[in-house]
Structure formats: C-alpha cells, structure tokens
C-alpha cells in the first residue's frame, strides 16, 4: 500500500486549519523543508512520510470526533397532513414562527409547505382563492431530501442545502426531525 500524493499534505493540513509552522513542529521537520515537500521540491524519506501522513490521519480523526452530527443539531419536527386546511397550517406556522413545514400522508413525507409555496399560490390564484377550503396538498412543493441522523455536520452539507431550505432527518429509517439551512450556517460559523 502506497502513500497518498505529496500534494495532499498541504490540502489536508490547510483543511484542518494547521499552520505550516505548527505542523512542522508536530512532525519534527523544519517549516522550510515541509514547504518544499508540499510543493514537490524535496523528496522526503519513507520514515518522514509515514510520520507526516500518520499525523494528518490522527488530526483528521480528532477533528471528526468533535464535529457534531445532524441528529445533534436537528430540531423536533412538527408536520401537517396533506389534507389539512391551509388556514390552519398558516396559523400553526405563525404561532411556531416556522417558515416551512413537511407535509405527510400515510406516514410518508409527500411535500413541503413554505412561505414561498403559500405566497406563490396566492399570486397564481388572485381573485379565485377560497382560503377556507384550500388544502395543503394543493400548494405544497416537493419534499426535501432525507439525511441520516449520524451524518456529520461539515461544509459539504451547505452545498447540499444550496438547493434545499431544509433536510429531513431520519433515524432507523423513520423521519424524526429536520434541519433548516440557517441551523447549518449557525453551526458552521461557530467553528
């Protein structure tokens, strides 16, 4: 089994937020020599490469242990049924200060009702809207993606959230909670 590419040393070190000076102290090398290794201007011996990559592995493992999981950050989910009246749903959203709620039918998430979907519905149906009979199922958007409760909270999660305002969180195959985009952003800012 060979070592990863030398270019990975700098990428991994910087991703961990470790300075060149600190990492050189951790591996027992001079900063200038470590810089030369990272830019492929020097060829280290096998023993030093082993030390460098073992140190990177240890630091990454430590960092992963401190990263929270989605389950630790997600919020208890309140949902509505597909056949619920829109007026009641808007009332719940207002009381709970929610901007979105998952929509269920027969214990399965079938959509998402949000401020956006409600506003769009009102704009599309000006003059012909009966708010007392409109059901959530008539105005809901597609359901958000489902992610496992043990998924680690990393910046990659934000890429996923670029397309979705929230994610449903499942545990043992059952949807139990959700995480909104703002919750992920708040957690990443704390780091």
Q: Please check whether residue 1 lies inside any domain of the structure.
A: no
The total domain count for the chain is: 2
Angle of helix 86-96 versus helix 115-124 axis, rounded to 10: 140
Instruction: For residue 90, give the H/E element and its range.
Output: helix 86-96
Asked if residue 87 and residue 58 are part of one domain, the reply reads: no
CATH number for position 46: 1.10.260.40
| pLDDT per residue as tens, the chain (191 positions) | 455 778 789 888 887 889 999 999 999 999 999 999 999 899 899 999 999 999 998 887 777 677 678 888 788 889 999 999 999 999 999 998 888 999 999 989 999 999 889 888 888 887 666 777 899 999 999 999 998 988 877 767 777 777 888 889 999 989 999 888 777 777 766 65
Rounded distance between C-alpha atoms, residue 2 and residue 190, angstroms: 37
Residue where a domain stops, chosen among 19, 37, 66: 66
The predicted model scores a pTM of: 0.63
Residue 94 falls inside a structural domain = yes
CATH number at residue 155: 3.10.580.10
């Amino acid at each position: 089994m060979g070592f990863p590419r030398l270019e990975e040393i700098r990428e991994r070190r910087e991703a961990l937020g470790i300075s060149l000076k600190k990492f050189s102290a951790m591996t027992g090398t001079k900063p200038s020599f470590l810089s030369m290794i990272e830019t492929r201007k020097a060829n280290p011996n096998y023993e030093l490469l082993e030390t460098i990559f073992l140190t990177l592995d240890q630091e990454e493992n430590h960092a992963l242990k401190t990263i929270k999981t989605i389950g630790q950050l997600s919020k208890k989910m309140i949902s509505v049924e597909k056949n619920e009246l829109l007026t009641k749903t808007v009332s719940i959203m207002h009381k709970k200060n929610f901007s979105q709620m998952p929509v269920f039918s027969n214990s399965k998430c079938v959509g998402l009702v949000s401020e956006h979907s409600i506003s769009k519905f009102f704009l599309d149906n000006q003059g012909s809207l009966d708010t007392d009979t409109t059901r959530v199922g008539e105005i809901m958007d597609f359901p958000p993606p489902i992610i496992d409760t043990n998924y680690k909270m990393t910046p990659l999660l934000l890429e996923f959230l670029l397309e979705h305002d929230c994610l449903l969180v499942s545990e043992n195959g059952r949807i139990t909670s959700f995480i909104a985009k703002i919750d992920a952003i708040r957690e990443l800012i704390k780091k």
